[in-house]
Amino acid sequence: MLKYGIAALGLVLFAALPAVAHHSDAMFDSKKEVVLNGTVKEFQYTNPHSWIQVLVPGAAGAGPVEWSIETAAPIVLLRAGIKPSSLQPGDKISLRMHPLKSGAPGGSLVEVKKDDGTTLSLRGPSAY
Q: Where are the domains of the chain?
A: 25-121
pLDDT in tens, 1-26: 555 545 444 444 444 444 444 567 78
CATH 2.40.50.140 holds for 25-121: yes
CA distance 33 to 121: 14
Q: Which residues of the chain fall short of a pLDDT of 70?
A: 1-23, 123-128
| Nearest alpha-carbon partner for 89 in 55, 117, 120 | 55
Burial class (CB in 10 A: 0-12, 13-18, 19+), 53: middle
pLDDT attached to residue 84: 96
pLDDT attached to residue 62: 86
